Amino acid sequence: MFKVGIIGATGYTGEEIIKILSTHSRIKITHLSAVLDKEEPISNIFPSLKGRVDVICEKPDAEKAKDEVDIIFLALPHRVSMEFAPTFLRAKKKVVDLSADYRLSPDAYKVWYGIEHKDKGNIQEAVYGLSEIYRDEIKNASLIANPGCYPTSVVLALAPLIREMAVERECIIADSKSGVTGAGRRPDLALSFGEVNENMKAYKINEHQHKPEINKILSSLAGEETDVIFTPHLVPMNRGILSTIYVRLKKKLELKAALNLYKNFYSGRPFVRIYDEGKFPQIRNVVGTNFCDIGIKITGGACVLVSCIDNLLKGAAGQAVQNMNIMCGFDETEGLI
Amino acid sequence: MFKVGIIGATGYTGEEIIKILSTHSRIKITHLSAVLDKEEPISNIFPSLKGRVDVICEKPDAEKAKDEVDIIFLALPHRVSMEFAPTFLRAKKKVVDLSADYRLSPDAYKVWYGIEHKDKGNIQEAVYGLSEIYRDEIKNASLIANPGCYPTSVVLALAPLIREMAVERECIIADSKSGVTGAGRRPDLALSFGEVNENMKAYKINEHQHKPEINKILSSLAGEETDVIFTPHLVPMNRGILSTIYVRLKKKLELKAALNLYKNFYSGRPFVRIYDEGKFPQIRNVVGTNFCDIGIKITGGACVLVSCIDNLLKGAAGQAVQNMNIMCGFDETEGLI
Amino acid sequence: MFKVGIIGATGYTGEEIIKILSTHSRIKITHLSAVLDKEEPISNIFPSLKGRVDVICEKPDAEKAKDEVDIIFLALPHRVSMEFAPTFLRAKKKVVDLSADYRLSPDAYKVWYGIEHKDKGNIQEAVYGLSEIYRDEIKNASLIANPGCYPTSVVLALAPLIREMAVERECIIADSKSGVTGAGRRPDLALSFGEVNENMKAYKINEHQHKPEINKILSSLAGEETDVIFTPHLVPMNRGILSTIYVRLKKKLELKAALNLYKNFYSGRPFVRIYDEGKFPQIRNVVGTNFCDIGIKITGGACVLVSCIDNLLKGAAGQAVQNMNIMCGFDETEGLI
Amino acid sequence: MFKVGIIGATGYTGEEIIKILSTHSRIKITHLSAVLDKEEPISNIFPSLKGRVDVICEKPDAEKAKDEVDIIFLALPHRVSMEFAPTFLRAKKKVVDLSADYRLSPDAYKVWYGIEHKDKGNIQEAVYGLSEIYRDEIKNASLIANPGCYPTSVVLALAPLIREMAVERECIIADSKSGVTGAGRRPDLALSFGEVNENMKAYKINEHQHKPEINKILSSLAGEETDVIFTPHLVPMNRGILSTIYVRLKKKLELKAALNLYKNFYSGRPFVRIYDEGKFPQIRNVVGTNFCDIGIKITGGACVLVSCIDNLLKGAAGQAVQNMNIMCGFDETEGLI
């Protein structure tokens, strides 16, 4: 049994990792920690875990934790993970970081996250954990930069077309709609029920910090600079991201050919499902699962892609465990639906 | 035109008072204030008011405000209103206080709100603003203790039966379900969408601070000590309170007689609607209105009452304006639906 | 007092028209009808109206109704309105039709609504009731084709830019998100709470029947053929449409100039609000009002527009009353917020 | 591997049974059927199952189905199950019936479900599948009458106190609040999002068909006639039942003693969790699980109990699988969380 720990166990993402791991046959949870007033069983914080996972949640101490685990999940805010990762890496422990700290170049990081990166050396060691695209690299990685929720939904939908260089790269639009848990578990008037329910808004229009992450990966897949216009929206639901993506096609593409392209691209990838002609994914088809569902429409000279994920699973905790499974040589689907 | 001000204009209750007053033909809004970082038009804080009410919202200053108004609404938290009311009362201005500060005796206040009352002298001047029951007293009042949302829903439903002394007073149960805005507009993890949506809970079981308020008024109506078991619940909706109330009847009561009792009791009261046999109110019938809707079921030796109000209107801002209308000699329904 | 009737009074749109008219100072409701099992007070069907509007809702009979009204609202499904409108028009009564029956040419109607139009003669008499754009024509109209909810939100946002011919017309994308009442009030598994809540979906991608309506009006404003890619989405909220609209600019446009263009275009139009730089509308700012709020972002060579309306008000009942006000010479804002 | 079938596979309960069984290590799904227009993979009906369970869903045919299964789940409406169960029982197959058809005596059934029972002979063979109370009987049963959702939440909360004869039986009140999936998956205006969202209502006050089921089991546990006043409510959430239960205590009971009573009563029952002093369950703690969580408050001479279940799991599909596990000698928790 691998020993697994989670730092940042009291967020929504931490809760989901715990729930997945509680049914995972190859590991045991040996460490949970988070910024807390007092150390207590995690089931006091998440009563749904009562009787299922009653491990004590401690205050964070990387030195202590590194001796208790083989693999550590950092379910921490941006700017905090880079304080913890080096200790585990030096101790030769595997790290899956769910923050943005190892996803961008140091320069881009400074621009988008507003501070100088504190662990630049490890950025180039990090493998971007978009499991379907970088599975081979993940197998040998010691540090995973687990993708952001929006980039997962946008990049998986665009990757096959982009790699075919089939789209006009200057006219790609990703209009994404997310449930509220994507904003984290914290007191904030803007996230309160009275403000969010019966409401909807666009925010950080083409200025969201996931934009450079999307463009970095797409540019790499395309082999040339790619710039998506990206608008995230907040929707009154707990979970799920639906991205509607619009591209201009460089040349005529039949729907049948497009569907084949996608099905081939994701062949052998158990968590991507391509919908048949005339069918499109809905949030409810993926909530509670690690799937990314994709539907395709060709209309005029444009292609409209619709992708759905559970932001806390394929967009965070589920993909993190999927990456752990790949890194550790477990079945890729172990513990996941 | 009467000059009207609101202190605490940036909460949900303040917002609703402003919206009502913006269509009121007899007054103009001359003062808005709240604890703020910077003074700015109220329509910056509530963009729905843009172009409708663009009055500057200032930082609170009772001395300044008292010269700008004929009547002041205190839409303030408990323990804060009593710091403001005396200034206005000394200046002979009318005060409608939406907090609990003038609803209980000084002793009860200390028990339930945890501090010594700072304006005991005015407590006995205050009239409890349950408009349908105390209309005559309200006409001549200078200080209104506007009722709590739960007490409004429970007391209006019980008053006719209680005054008839028709119920076993030791076995009255009020099971109330409230939308989330009842908890105020503030950052609080427990009120965040991710915690409230797809969830429901009971809280402060028989320990809520509205319990002594309910019991005080019911005891007064009954002419003897009355003790309700009161359980509030939080429901994933923005607005509305539905109270299901269970009483044992002292003697046989036909439904027809009960309906007559209620219709007579509330005759001439434009905002209480009694439902006919077999019909019961729903939250959606009252949201956005100042109505309290009541349905009655007689079953075995028990009577089950269902009452619905909009917690922000009949349970707060609407009733406050109704009281202003009565105090100022306006039509009781002016500005209200 | 003008005598006003509504046919189709039991849908969400009918309900809203009744609520608005109940506070309107220049009219009285003299006729309500709908397909019903039995005729009964409208307040039995919508208990929120109890004591406010208790007019009997009858079964539809155009011949009878035409003698009871000066103006009739047809809040009927597509394909049904054209059965009723001619009777009223022959009797020289004013008609506001909220269906799509008089919005398109006969040929386009047949393509998009699947049947031959039965009242072609009146189509050319109809004025498209987008109040802000066609106010002068509406003044003298006898038949208003009240706009669809999506077209209202998309066309108001695009009109100033389109008329300036400032956009690449082959690359306009309208990604619209609607609350559920837009689909009407009827039993349908796909609209049930268990299917819609905690879910979101795109539907009729670039195939929605509002697409030709959008394109017809935009082409007319642009003076040349314009083809928008239009994707509607269903969002778990009762009311509201948020449209995010993406256009490529033909030439450089500063945000300041864009804001001026919009503010001038909608000068004297009380129900369109243009947001200042860096601010964007949210559904909650317009729900319960007749406003259309618009925000503008210039980013790279693109312009992103965000518009919000209440689909039942500015997108249906509110605009219908606004049009009645204009037709009848009332204050344009009478009865509306 | 046991062969398992589900008749009524396309309702919410059927969907949940399928999801649970898809991860169950001891069985395989060999039959799915439901009233359908055409036979197709169940994953066409529930796309979330795509790639996980693609079994064809057939039209119901008991004769054919009985040869394909060792155990059958009847996830059918009341009045329909009794048409199917006899075929399987005659063939010596185990039956778990999720309808109410085998829960009441023939006389009570006629009163509450309005028709003569068609399979009276098997009613007395049926074991009431409240797993925690009747585990021994379930082991040897061939026909399980799986409990209703409300009775599960009410009876589990009351059983320990009732069996101690500690309560005044004539004054028991169960105020239950349910999510919308409890009403089934079907087109119905009253269940549509626009009617349910931002709304709440009581319904069938003390007249719900689960009332006799509650009273039958409680009377049996108490050893004398027990009559609960039972009010169900509809709450705008997909899943979960919270019951708030009020009883008068016959004699003084300390909270500590009450907690001990409950913990002992449910000792060895993995799916009932008793909360410590001052803590109460919430819907979110049980949604997605088979747990029934119970909190206890002693206040004055009364006891207030709060119980929470997921109506589709412990209130239906989860308990049905739990009963299958017990009947078949599997681990009671297999496949369940």
Amino acid at D274: I
pLDDT at residue D83 tops 90: yes
Site of tokens 């597509």: C78
Contact between D61 and D67 (Cβ < 8 Å): no
The span from the CA of B62 to the CA of B79, in Å, is 16
Mean pLDDT of chain A, nearest integer: 97
Q: Exposed/middle/buried for B94, CB within 10 Å: 0-12, 13-18, 19+?
A: buried
pLDDT at residue A127 tops 90: yes
Enumerate the β-bridge partners of residue C296. Answer: C305
Q: What pLDDT, on a 0 to 100 scale, did the predictor assign at position A169?
A: 80
Instruction: List every span in chain C annotated with CATH 3.30.360.10.
Output: 149-309
Contact between D215 and D226 (Cβ < 8 Å): yes
- Banded model confidence at residue B169, pLDDT cuts 50, 70, 90: confident
Which chain C positions have a beta carbon within 8 Å of D237's beta carbon?
Answer: 197
Cα four-point dihedral sign C80, C84, C89, C95: negative
Cα four-point dihedral sign A22, A24, A30, A35: negative
CB contact under 8 A, D229 and B302: yes
Which chain D positions have a beta carbon within 8 Å of B204's beta carbon?
Answer: none
Amino acid at C119: D
| A138 DSSP assignment | H
Which ipTM score applies to this complex?
0.96
What the block records as the tokens of D252 is 């003084």
- Percentage of chain C modeled with pLDDT above 70: 100
pLDDT tens column, B78-88: 999 999 999 99
Instruction: List every span in chain C annotated with CATH 3.40.50.720.
Output: 2-146+316-328
Residue D116 neighbours by CB distance under 10 Å? 9
Kindly report the length of chain C.
337
Contact between A324 and A96 (Cβ < 8 Å): yes
Amino acid at C284: R
pLDDT at residue B333 tops 90: yes
The span from the CA of A76 to the CA of A190, in Å, is 21
pLDDT tens column, A196-245: 999 999 999 999 999 999 999 999 999 999 999 999 999 999 999 999 99
pLDDT tens column, D100-113: 999 999 999 999 99
Going from the C-alpha of D119 to that of each of C254, D97, D318, D323, the distances in angstroms are 78, 13, 26, 22
Amino acid at D63: E
- Name the helix (H) or strand (E) containing C161: helix C149-163
The span from the CA of C56 to the CA of C5, in Å, is 12
Alpha helices (runs of H) in chain B, residue ranges in sequence order:
12-21, 42-45, 62-66, 81-90, 106-113, 120-123, 135-139, 149-163, 193-196, 211-222, 255-265, 317-328
Q: What pLDDT, on a 0 to 100 scale, did the predictor assign at position A165?
A: 78
Site of tokens 């805010």: A77
Enumerate the β-bridge partners of residue C110. Answer: none
Tell me the average pLDDT across D182-208.
97
CB contact under 8 A, D285 and A48: yes
CB contact under 8 A, A236 and C233: no
Q: Which of A205, A206, A283 sits opposite C199 (nearest CB)?
A: A283
Q: What pLDDT, on a 0 to 100 scale, did the predictor assign at position B166?
A: 80
Alpha helices (runs of H) in chain D, residue ranges in sequence order:
12-21, 42-45, 62-66, 81-90, 106-113, 120-123, 135-139, 149-163, 193-196, 211-222, 255-265, 317-328
CATH number for the domain whose boundaries are A149-309: 3.30.360.10
Name residues whose C-beta falls within 8 Å of residue D283's C-beta, 6 or more positions apart in sequence.
B198, B199, B200, B201, D179, D237, D239, D240, D241, D242, D308
Q: Which 3 state secondary structure label does DSSP give A303?
A: strand
What the block records as the tokens of A232 is 């995230």
Amino acid at A226: T
Q: Which 3 state secondary structure label does DSSP give B115?
A: coil
CATH class given for the domain over A2-146+316-328: alpha beta
Site of tokens 């269906």: C99
pLDDT tens column, C26-58: 999 999 999 999 999 999 999 999 999 999 999
Tell me the average pLDDT across D141-169.
95
| C170 DSSP assignment | G
Computed over its alpha carbons, how large is the radius of gyration of chain B? 19
Q: What pLDDT, on a 0 to 100 scale, did the predictor assign at position D151?
A: 98
The span from the CA of B213 to the CA of C91, in Å, is 61
CB contact under 8 A, D194 and C238: yes
Q: What pLDDT, on a 0 to 100 scale, did the predictor assign at position D314?
A: 98
The span from the CA of B303 to the CA of C203, in Å, is 48
- Residue D241: closest CA among chain B residues belongs to which residue? B200
The span from the CA of A106 to the CA of A104, in Å, is 6
Contact between D320 and D24 (Cβ < 8 Å): no
pLDDT at residue B170 tops 80: no
pLDDT tens column, D211-220: 999 999 999 9
Residue A329 neighbours by CB distance under 10 Å? 9
Q: CA end-to-end span of chain A, whole Å?
A: 21
The span from the CA of A108 to the CA of A117, in Å, is 10
Tell me the average pLDDT across B295-313.
96
Mean pLDDT of chain D, nearest integer: 97
A171 part of the active site: no
CB contact under 8 A, C285 and B47: yes
Q: Exposed/middle/buried for C227, CB within 10 Å: 0-12, 13-18, 19+?
A: middle
Tell me the average pLDDT across C191-197.
97
Which chain C positions have a beta carbon within 8 Å of B51's beta carbon?
Answer: 270, 273, 291
Tell me the average pLDDT across D279-295.
98
Q: Which of D193, D197, D198 to mutate to test the interface with C (most CBs of C within 10 A)?
A: D193
The span from the CA of A131 to the CA of A152, in Å, is 10
Beta strands at A228-234 and A172-178: parallel, antiparallel or unpaired: parallel
Q: Which 3 state secondary structure label does DSSP give A70?
A: coil
Going from the C-alpha of C313 to that of each of C118, C271, C308, C335, the distances in angstroms are 28, 11, 11, 12
**C198 touching D (Cβ < 8 Å):** yes
Q: What pLDDT, on a 0 to 100 scale, did the predictor assign at position C231?
A: 98
Which chain A positions have a beta carbon within 8 Å of C280's beta carbon?
Answer: 201-203, 205
Considering only CA atoms, which of D3, D2, D75 is closest in space to residue D35? D75
- Banded model confidence at residue D166, pLDDT cuts 50, 70, 90: confident
Q: Which of C15, C36, C46, C192 to mutate to test the interface with D (most CBs of D within 10 A)?
A: C192
CB contact under 8 A, B191 and A188: no
CB contact under 8 A, C233 and A244: yes
Instruction: Indicate yes or no: pTM above 0.90.
Output: yes
- Banded model confidence at residue C171, pLDDT cuts 50, 70, 90: confident
- Find the catalytic residue in A149, A292, A303, A308: A149
- Banded model confidence at residue A319, pLDDT cuts 50, 70, 90: very high
Q: What pLDDT, on a 0 to 100 scale, did the predictor assign at position C170?
A: 76
pLDDT tens column, B123-146: 999 999 999 999 999 999 999 999
pLDDT at residue C236 tops 90: yes
Q: Which of B189, B196, B199, B239 to mutate to test the interface with D (most CBs of D within 10 A)?
A: B199
- Distance, in angstroms, between D2 CA and closest chain C CA? 32
pLDDT at residue B300 tops 90: no
Using N-to-C axis directions, what is the helix angle for D317-328 and D12-21, rounded to 10°?
A: 40
Considering only CA atoms, which of D69, D61, D58, D75 is closest in space to residue D92? D69
- Banded model confidence at residue A170, pLDDT cuts 50, 70, 90: confident
Q: What pLDDT, on a 0 to 100 scale, did the predictor assign at position B157?
A: 98
**C284 touching B (Cβ < 8 Å):** yes
Which chain B positions have a beta carbon within 8 Å of D282's beta carbon?
Answer: 199-201
Q: What pLDDT, on a 0 to 100 scale, did the predictor assign at position D300?
A: 83
| C67 DSSP assignment | T
| A190 DSSP assignment | G
CA A23 to centroid of chain Cα atoms? 21
Beta strands at C228-234 and C201-202: parallel, antiparallel or unpaired: antiparallel
Considering only CA atoms, which of C300, C306, C305 is closest in space to residue C252? C300
Q: What pLDDT, on a 0 to 100 scale, did the predictor assign at position A98?
A: 98
Tell me the average pLDDT across C127-134.
98
The span from the CA of A119 to the CA of A82, in Å, is 6
Q: What pLDDT, on a 0 to 100 scale, did the predictor assign at position C36?
A: 95
Q: Where are the beta strands (DSSP E) in C227-318?
A: 228-234, 241-248, 272-274, 292-299, 302-309
Q: What pLDDT, on a 0 to 100 scale, did the predictor assign at position C165?
A: 78
Q: What pLDDT, on a 0 to 100 scale, did the predictor assign at position D111?
A: 98
The span from the CA of A188 to the CA of A180, in Å, is 12
**Which residues 71-110 of chain D have a CB within 8 Å of chain C?**
none
